[in-house]
Structure formats: C-alpha cells, structure tokens
C-alpha cells in the first residue's frame, strides 16, 4: 500500500506542482456591455439635450434679430411715405402743417398692432423742423429719442425748392 500511496503522491505532484494547486487565471471580462451601452446612451442623450437647447437659443436669437430688422425696414418705409406727404404739403403751402403728426395720421394705415402715428416698436414718431429743413424721427427699438438707434427721414428745404 505504501507503493500505491507513493504513486498517488507522485501523480499529485506532477499535476499540481510543487507549490500546491495552481490557481486558475481569470480571463479578464470585457467591459460590461450593458453598463457601457447605458453610459454611452446617457452621454448621447445629454449631448443631444444640450445641443437642442443651444439650437433653440440660436433660433430665438435669429428670430429676434430678424424681427428687429423687419421692424426697422417697415418703419423706414412708413417714415419715407410720411416724408413724401409732408414734402408735398410743403410744396403746396410753403410751410408745414401746424400739427404735422395730426396731419399725417389721416394718411397712415392701420396695418400694425400699434395705433396710427406710432412706429413698429410702439413708439410715437416725432416731426423735427428748423430753417434748413424738416424730418421725421423714430425712437428706434430702445424707445429713447436722440440716440444712436433712432431712425430719421429728413429733407432739406433747398432740395425741395431746387426741384421747382
């Protein structure tokens, strides 16, 4: 029996090694696919939500700038028409009406959300006149007269009298 035990011990050493049983090496698992996929989906969703907010912000800025430009062009066109009416009155009467805005209101259309005599931002027009000429002024988008964003349509009296 000793012989059998020796043989068993010999086989065990051959199979197991001198230092004892060999531990199995763990094969590294690939990154957990479900967790990686969920992380990527979360990152993509947050990217698209952020991009969507950015696009909405740009869209609002473009719409605001476009509306501001449309109001500016409409106001300039209306002021140009008002100036032609005042010029015609001046040519006929050699003077401006006593109440130029009151005179012009009869010629203005009700085609905007503001009453007659107001620009497309809701600010009242002003007629300026001096010995050299006259003009119509809009306060512009900020509503303050006599600053940088005012719109002005003016004519010199010399220009009118030279055309006669």
Confirm whether 84 is domain-assigned. yes
Confirm whether 87 is domain-assigned. yes
Domain CATH for 102:
3.30.700.10
Q: Which pLDDT value is given to residue 76?
A: 92
Judge contact between 157 and 133, C-beta under 8 A.
yes
Confirm whether 42 is domain-assigned. no
- The structural domain count of the chain equals 1
Confirm whether 34 is domain-assigned. no
pLDDT tens across 28-87, in order? 766 677 777 788 888 888 877 777 888 888 999 999 999 999 989 999 999 999 999 999
Residue 131 has pLDDT above 70, yes or no: yes
Confirm whether 45 is domain-assigned. no
Confirm whether 35 is domain-assigned. no
Confirm whether 117 is domain-assigned. yes
Judge contact between 103 and 87, C-beta under 8 A.
no
Which residues span the domain enclosing 126?
61-162
Residue 161 has pLDDT above 70, yes or no: no
Residue 16 has pLDDT above 90, yes or no: no
Q: Which pLDDT value is given to residue 48?
A: 78
Return the percentage of the chain with pLDDT > 90, whole number: 20
The Cα 16–Cα 8 span in angstroms is 12
């Amino acid at each position: 029996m000793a012989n059998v035990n020796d043989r068993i011990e010999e086989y065990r050493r051959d199979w197991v090694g001198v230092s004892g049983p060999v531990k199995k090496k763990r094969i590294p698992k690939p990154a957990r696919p479900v967790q990686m996929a969920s992380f990527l989906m979360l990152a993509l969703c947050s990217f698209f939500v952020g991009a969507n907010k950015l696009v909405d912000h740009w869209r609002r800025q473009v719409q605001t700038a476009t509306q501001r430009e449309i109001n500016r062009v409409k106001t300039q066109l209306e002021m140009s028409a008002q100036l032609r009416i005042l010029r015609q009155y001046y040519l006929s009467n050699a003077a401006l009406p006593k109440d130029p805005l009151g005179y012009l209101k009869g010629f203005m259309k009700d085609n905007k959300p503001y009453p007659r005599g107001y620009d497309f931002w809701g600010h009242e027009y002003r007629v300026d006149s001096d010995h050299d000429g006259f003009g119509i002024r809009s306060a512009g988008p900020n509503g303050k007269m006599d600053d940088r964003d005012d719109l002005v349509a003016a004519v010199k009296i010399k220009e009118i009298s030279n055309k006669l």
